[in-house]
Amino acid sequence: MVFGVVSQSSEHPVSYNFVSLMFNVLFRGVMKKRFSIPVFAIVIVAAFFAGMQLNTLISGDNIYDQLNKFKDVLSLTEKYYVDDVDTQKLTDAAINGLLSQLDPHSIYIPPSQLKRVTEDFRGKFEGIGIEFAIVNDTITVVQPIGGGPSAQLGIMANDKIVKIDDSSAIGFSNDQVMQHLRGPKGTKVAVTIVRPGVKEPLDFVIIRDVIPLYSVDNATMLNEGVGYIRVNRFSETTNTEMLNALQKLKEQGMRKLVLDLRYNPGGYLDQAVKMADLFLNGDTKTGKRLVVYTKGRRSEFDEQYYATTNSEFEKTPLIILVSNMTASASEIVSGAVQDWDRGLIVGETTFGKGLVQRQFDLQDRSAFRLTIARYYTPSGRLIQRSYAEGREEYQREPFTRKEVEGNNLTHKEERDSTLPKYHTADGRTIYGGGGITPDYIVKPEDLTGFTVDVSRKNLFYLFDAEYLDEHALEIKKNYPDLNAFDAKFTIDNPMLADFISYVKSKGVDYKENDFQKDKTFIQAQLKAYIARNFWGNDGWLRAMFTMDNQLQKALSLFPEAEKIAKLN
Contact 559, 226 (CB under 8 A): no
* Residue-wise pLDDT tens digits, 536-568: 889 999 999 999 999 999 999 999 999 999 997
Full pLDDT tens readout for the chain, 568 residues: 333 444 444 333 333 333 333 333 333 333 334 445 444 444 444 444 444 444 444 444 588 899 999 999 999 999 999 999 999 999 999 999 999 999 999 999 998 788 777 776 777 788 999 988 888 899 999 888 877 899 888 898 889 999 999 899 999 998 899 889 999 999 999 999 998 878 899 999 999 998 888 899 899 999 989 999 999 999 999 999 999 999 999 999 999 999 999 999 998 999 999 999 999 987 767 889 999 999 999 999 999 999 987 899 999 999 999 999 999 999 999 999 999 999 999 999 999 999 999 999 999 999 999 999 999 999 999 999 999 998 889 999 998 998 999 999 988 767 667 889 999 999 999 999 899 999 999 999 999 999 999 998 889 999 999 999 999 999 999 999 999 999 999 999 999 999 999 999 999 999 999 999 999 999 999 999 999 999 988 999 999 999 999 999 999 999 999 999 999 7
Count Cα atoms within 13 angstroms, Cβ side, for 262.
19
CA-CA-CA-CA dihedral for 413, 447, 324, 229, to nearest 10:
-110
137 DSSP β-pair partners: none
Q: Say how far apart CA 460 and CA 458 lie, in whole Å.
A: 6
Residues 35-38: contacts with CB within 8 Å, 24+ apart? 37/78, 37/87, 38/71, 38/74, 38/75, 38/78, 38/87
Q: Say how far apart CA 105 and CA 96 lie, in whole Å.
A: 12
HEC letters along 142-207: EEECCCCHHHHHCCCCCCEEEEECCEECCCCCHHHHHHHHCCCCCCEEEEEEECCCCCCCEEEEEE
Start-to-end CA span in the chain (Å) = 43
Q: Say how far apart CA 265 and CA 3 lie, in whole Å.
A: 5
Q: Give DSSP secondary structure letters for 297-350.
A: SSGGG-EEEEE-S--TTTTS-EEEEE-TT--THHHHHHHHHHHTT-SEEEES--
Alpha helices by DSSP H, listed for 81-130, are 87-100, 111-122
Q: Say how far apart CA 3 and CA 219 lie, in whole Å.
A: 24
Q: Which residues are catalytic?
A: 328, 339, 353
**Residues, the chain, total?**
568
Tell me which residue of 512, 340, 360, 438 sits closest to 50, measured CA to CA. Answer: 360
Contact 268, 253 (CB under 8 A): no
Q: Say how far apart CA 72 and CA 81 lie, in whole Å.
A: 13
CA 120 to mean position of chain CA atoms: 9
Helix pair 37-50, 63-80: axis angle to 10 deg:
160
Query: How many Cβ atoms sit within 10 Å of the Cβ of residue 559?
Result: 10
Q: Say how far apart CA 125 and CA 211 lie, in whole Å.
A: 5
Query: How many Cβ atoms sit within 10 Å of the Cβ of residue 487?
Result: 9
* Residue-wise pLDDT tens digits, 17-40: 333 333 333 333 333 344 454 444
**Structural domains in the chain?**
19-119 (no CATH), 124-212 (2.30.42.10), 216-356+377-445 (3.90.226.10), 449-552 (no CATH)
pTM equals: 0.82
